Amino acid sequence: MMSRILVIKTGTTLPSLLAAQGDFEDWVIFGLGAPSDRISVADVQTGAPLPAPRDVAGIVITGSHSMVTDHEAWSERTAAWLCDAVEQHTPILGICYGHQLLAYALGGEVGDNPRGNETGTVNVYLNETGATDRLLGGLANPLRVHVSHQQSVLNLPIGAQLLAWSDRDQHQAFSIGDNVWGVQFHPEFNAAAVRAYTEDDREILRAEGQDPDRISAQIEETSHGTEILQRFARLTL
């Protein structure tokens, strides 16, 4: 039997989005474009067990409303497991919380983004390393992608390669070796999802001096995130 891509579910989306278009893992699975029998989901927030890393073809870690800096037991357990998965050279893609958790697990530093919340559809710029990267190389530069986060990777793990940055986050993407990636942006989001998060964060954004109406007006559909997820799925074959 072919090994499956494991989607590690680390949280649940806003109730309005959950009712309208499903949850984080559903969006990831749709974006990957892989057959359903090639994908499994482990909801680590509710205590689901994780398989041996050698028994999965690849790993995607979803976003979450939790904070890595809260050091919740389920999160710490998942971080330790990810270290084993990296050692097994399993392909891994961490998204937002997953990106931060992966960096933390490998010795990086996570904390509040010093530039404040980053929300909306933004330009993410690939550096020279990112432009030739196995996952991101050859895509549009800048990437047009969706973001919604309060915390960021403040310092990358030793040995990590910075791949991309944005105006409000210096570490939008990193890699370790040729099989591990973290992306702060949300390749699984569509415009409706990021619009809902912008509305939910309206008062926080205003308190930071940001304009939620301006951010909402600049939200647009983009295919770049889906391209990244589909590329990752192909890397697990």
Catalytic residue among 146, 171, 188, 203: 188
Residues sharing a CB contact under 8 Å with residue 195, sequence separation 6 or more, in sequence order: 216, 219
Distance between CA atoms of residues 183 and 181, nearest Å: 7
Task: Report the CATH number that the domain containing residue 51 is assigned in CATH.
Answer: 3.40.50.880
Say which of 72, 99, 186, 203 is annotated catalytic: 186
Residue-by-residue DSSP string for 179-230: TEEEESSBTT--HHHHHHHHHHTHHHHHHTT--HHHHHHT----SHHHHHHH
Instruction: Determine which one of 96, 99, 146, 171 is catalytic.
Output: 96
Bridge partners of residue 6, in order along the sequence: 40, 59
pLDDT in tens, the chain (237 residues): 468 999 999 999 999 999 999 999 999 999 999 998 999 999 999 999 999 999 999 999 999 999 999 999 999 999 999 999 999 999 999 999 999 999 999 999 999 999 999 999 999 999 999 999 999 999 999 999 999 999 999 999 999 999 999 999 999 999 999 999 999 999 999 999 999 999 999 999 999 999 999 999 999 999 999 999 999 999 998
What would the two tokens of residue 224 be? 């770049």
- End-to-end alpha carbon distance in the chain: 13
Is 96 a catalytic site residue?
Answer: yes
Q: How many angstroms separate the CA atoms of 188 and 198, rounded?
A: 16
Q: For residue 12, what are the domain limits?
A: 4-235
- Number of residues in the chain: 237
Count of the separate structural domains present in the chain: 1
Dist CA 12 CA 141 (whole Å): 31
Provide the whole-model pTM: 0.97
Q: Is 186 a catalytic residue?
A: yes
Closest CA to 133 of 158, 163, 113, 108: 163
